[in-house]
Amino acid sequence: MTKVNTNKIIQELTEKLLFLAGVSVQVEVIDLGENTYEVNLSTDDETGLLIGFRGENINAIQTVLGMMLKGQTGEWYRLVVNVGDYREKQEEKLKELATQSADRAVETKEPQPVYNLNASQRRVVHMFLSERNDITTESEGVEPERYLVIKAK
């Protein structure tokens, strides 16, 4: 399947899904390469609805779109759905939290657990803190109680 075709299919599926949900939205699909696509949604008055509590709706839209795309094309693609700059703001907040927790771990020499993160949020923190030489990170526990621990070296 060509890239242009895939972009068009993703756009049409997104528009159809959100039309059925009763949401008026503009859709922009960006090919990030390696079977990964960013789906940017813009709306005048439905931003909060699309994002949902703690990003639950945006994550659900992303999951459903991925399954719809698989059904249409027979292939799995990685989709990242974004509303406004929600994902960027969330990533900045996670990096702030990670920095504060890492600094506290180094200062107190005590492990710092970080709770209430989903798998992709834990990954952002792991990747961000992997650049530091004074701490280590690991995930502990079992879903849905899995959490991140930041430890001084």
Q: Which residue matches tokens 């960006």?
A: 30
Q: Assess whether pLDDT exceeds 80 at residue 3.
A: no
What's the pLDDT tens digit per position in 90-129? 999 999 999 999 999 999 999 999 999 988 899 999 999 9
Q: Assess whether pLDDT exceeds 90 at residue 70.
A: yes
The per-residue pLDDT for 138 is 96
Measure the CA–CA gap between 103 and 21, rounded to whole angstroms: 44
- H/E/C letters for each residue in the chain? CCHHHHHHHHHHHHHHHHHHCCCCCEEEEEEEECCEEEEEEECCCCHHHHHCHHHHHHHHHHHHHHHHHHHHHCCCCEEEEEECCHHHHHHHHHHHHHHHHHHHHHHHCCCEEECCCCHHHHHHHHHHHCCCCCEEEEEECCCCCCEEEEEEC
Measure the CA–CA gap between 136 and 146, rounded to whole angstroms: 17
What's the pLDDT tens digit per position in 125-149? 999 999 999 999 999 999 889 999 9
Question: Mean pLDDT, to the nearest integer, of 8-16?
Answer: 96
pTM (global) more than 0.75: yes
Instruction: Give the sheet arrangement for strand 26-33, strand by strand.
Output: 26-33, 36-42, 78-83
Question: Contact, 118 vs 85, CB < 8 A?
Answer: no
Question: Contact, 11 vs 27, CB < 8 A?
Answer: yes
Q: How many CB atoms lie within 10 A of CB 8?
A: 12
81 residue type, one letter: V
The per-residue pLDDT for 1 is 58
